[in-house]
Structure 1
Amino acid sequence: MSTIAEFIDGANFEEAVKSVRDDSTDDKYLVVGHVENDPNRVSVLKVGQDLEELGEQMDDTQVMYALARYESIFDMSKTIKFVYFRWIGDQVPFVKKGRYGVVSSSIEQHFNPYHLFVETSAREDFHPEKIIQQLEETSGKKSKVIEDVQGRQQRGFTASQLPKRGPMSKSGFSLATEGAKIEITEEVYNTIAAVKNNDDTTSWMLSSYFNCDPSGPIEFEKSGEGDVKELKQCLRDDAVMYGLYRVTDTVDDIVTVKFVYIVWVGTSVKPMTKAKISTHKGTMEQLYGPAHVTLFASDQSDITEKIIMEKVTSASGTRSHVR
């Protein structure tokens, strides 16, 4: 599967974006969706004028994207802000979320520049008052209007003028992690979904680069129903491998499921390969996430049930520190 999503109506999309960014038009937002549930094909679904209705355009069974224009007043001056939305419907199956997550970076680049990124599955997060509040918080209520020597107001979108994007608040607002593009086979998605399915007996899986070539694709290696010892038997010293391991932890007498993301770089992996695979970090974290613990290893002794459970219990706050 490709990590690139393409617009089947590129000219129509460009025209819609131009209209939303143009203050002289009434178009305030555009909505984009996947064509026939294909992660690699997207198209414009709607261009609208009423921001109050934007949330109503979202489908609980789909992953969708939107760009919207907002106005705020500061020191009696009108400023224009753009918000990029990524909607993940709460009825989207896990496997689909993984497939769409891998192409999210290629879609995002078509919506740049913007001032705020909102990733959500709640329609109330589209409410204009809530968005304006978030915009004011991220800008510190300072005017971003740039004036030229004639005193005319203009919106600057050069590299030096773009707002810096740091971590957002935890109320559904976040930044997308971008990684280098790499092919990922269908079986990898399916096996990750199996490990994350509590009704499936698969407890771990591994993927690796085809022929140890960092240009890919990432292909399914092995899966099993046993413990981490079984997983370790499949690790190779000459390979870079990515794994997911399901364990349980007890919190307040309640058994909870935890997922451990494992990045294995064998001791015989070449330095150039290590450098190349580092560019895939963001893509692979999106593919395997969310995980409760990440474990980096290059030696079999780095991966034991004891080490894993110490990390899991420490992360969840259930580990006893009494000696």
Structure 2
Amino acid sequence: MVMRLKFVARGVGGVQEMAGHTNDEAVMYGLIRFVFGHGKYARTKYVMVHFNGERCSVVKRGRFNAMKPEAETQIGACHTEVQFHSSSEFTVDAVLQMLYKACANDGDLGKGTSSEFTIQQMKDDMEKMVEKAKEELAALEGAGPFEEEDLEMIRPGMTLTAKDLKRQISWSESLRMVRADMGPFNWMLISPDPGRPDLVNAGAGSVRQMHEYLMDDQVCYGLIRMGFGKGQFRRSKWIFLHWSGEKIKAIQRGKYNAVEGDMKALLGSHNVYMHASTRDQCLLEDIIDKVQRSVVTDGDASDTDLYSMEMFLEALDEEQRAMTEEFKDEMDVVVAPSPARSERAAQPEMPLMDA
């Protein structure tokens, strides 16, 4: 029987809310984001949660704990890890105590010394962060679903993919376009054959458009370029995607998964790694969150505001213009300006996965 991670919950209510979703009869993995300090002194810390339910059977515990490397890959880099065995011990104070020991002396909180940054300050900052996130979420819900409205900014021409164009686009040409900072394509998928890969498809509609070509009974590899901001303020990050559909046969899955190293070499360097078996495991918001965490753990925390949904949509608008210019002779649609979104999306604080 193939064991896979299963999404359980996410939210903006911090530790208390996450604890409410834990189960003492299960092994679970999760992520919590904290922001301490204010303004230019604000620092973001990511904590991986390993919940080892005390009432989980020994056999199941062993199987599910063996999945920890996969959970770590999905969650991404974190500043520290906390482990609990029951919902009752999984409290705000317990998490902050562990985080304080791991981070208070790293020169990044307060003024860099434990005597100047207390657990009470961390608790106060966390409560403010949760309150702000709840307000942002309420405002966002009042404005309607984010993806269904705001990603409709994709212009008619952006529904075109490499397969829709009059001329044939090779996988290597698609790769060149995705790797270029302002190339006309911002995503591509190829078959799991490092020797002679076939182009599944490529396009300029980013993650949402790419989802249409992720088949449940296939394995494929891909590269996504995510831009943030416009002009001189633009920054680009590349995401390597390993898609392994949940309905593919075990033998094929093993064969195609084994070439991951070769496919990484073929597609080139990347900033973020993603492995997914369902589309829910590679949502746009989650990928942006992974990009933000990669920036923080790389020591570039001063630029975290740049890597937001708003900045992504700004860059996407600019990329769509590049695609229009590149393939204008192959488009039969009128391209109109796309609307900009002013509201800031509330970032999920705590994705939680069940093994």
Normalised TM-score (structure 1):
0.37
Larger radius of gyration: 1
Normalised TM-score (structure 2):
0.34
1 or 2, which has the higher strand percentage?
Answer: 1
- Structure scoring higher RCO (CA < 8 A, sep ≥ 6) equals 2
1 or 2, which has the higher helix percentage?
Answer: 2
